Amino acid sequence: MENENNSDYHQLEELNHSNYEIADGEPDIKGWDIKDNRGIKLAEVEDLLFNPASRKVRYLIAGLVGRVFGVEKRRVLIPIGLAELHPKDDDVYLPGISIAQLAIAPEYVKGEVSLQTEILARNVFKEENSVPEVYNSQTFYEHDHYNERNFYGRRFTRRDGAEDGS
C-alpha cells in the first residue's frame, strides 16, 4: 500500500492524542457501546488507533466491561474491519467475534504496540479452522480485518455520509 506497510507499526497513534480529526460526515464513535449480535454490551470504544501516513484507522481501542462472561476488564485492540456500525443506533457490533477471542485478545498499552502485537491482534480474530497466513509487510493491511467498508457496513449508502434508509 502506498505510504504504509506494517513496518510502520510504531507510527500508529491514538486519535485523541493527535492533530487529526474524524472526517466530515463520519460518526465520532468514541464512547459508543460495543455489542455482540444479541445486543449484549461487551466493551466501549475508548479511542481509535490510526496510521497518520495513510490516514487510515486500523484498530478500535476497546475497553472491555468488567467480568463479561469471565473476560477481565482491560483495553484490547480490535481490527477495524471486524467491527460494524449499527445501521441507526450509536452502537458498534462485533458480528464475527466470540467471547473466547476477546478473552485472548492482546491487551492494548499506549506506546507499546509492536509488530508482534499487531500480528497477534489479527490472528486472534481469524476464522476458526483457517490456515495461518505468512506475514508479509507489504500486504498486511490489505487483509479484510482492516477493510473499513466492513466497518461502515449498511450505515451509509453513499460516500457523502448520507444515512441508509433501510
The domains located in the chain, with CATH, are 6-152 (3.90.50.10)
Compare 25 and 35 and report the one with higher pLDDT: 35
- Higher pLDDT: 46 or 152? It is 46
Interval 110-148: pLDDT, tens:
989 988 899 888 889 887 766 666 677 778 888 889 888
Average per-residue pLDDT for the chain: 81
Contact 121, 102 (CB under 8 A): no
**pLDDT the model gives residue 159:** 46
- Please write the tens of the pLDDT for every residue from 52-66: 888 889 999 999 987
| pLDDT more than 70, % of the chain | 80
Q: How far apart are CA 43 and CA 115, in angstroms?
A: 24
CA dist list (Å): 41 to 45, 64, 91, 140: 11, 9, 9, 30
When pLDDT is cut at 50, 70 and 90, the band that residue 67 belongs to is low
Per-residue pLDDT averaged across 27-39, rounded?
Answer: 91
pTM to 2 decimal places: 0.81
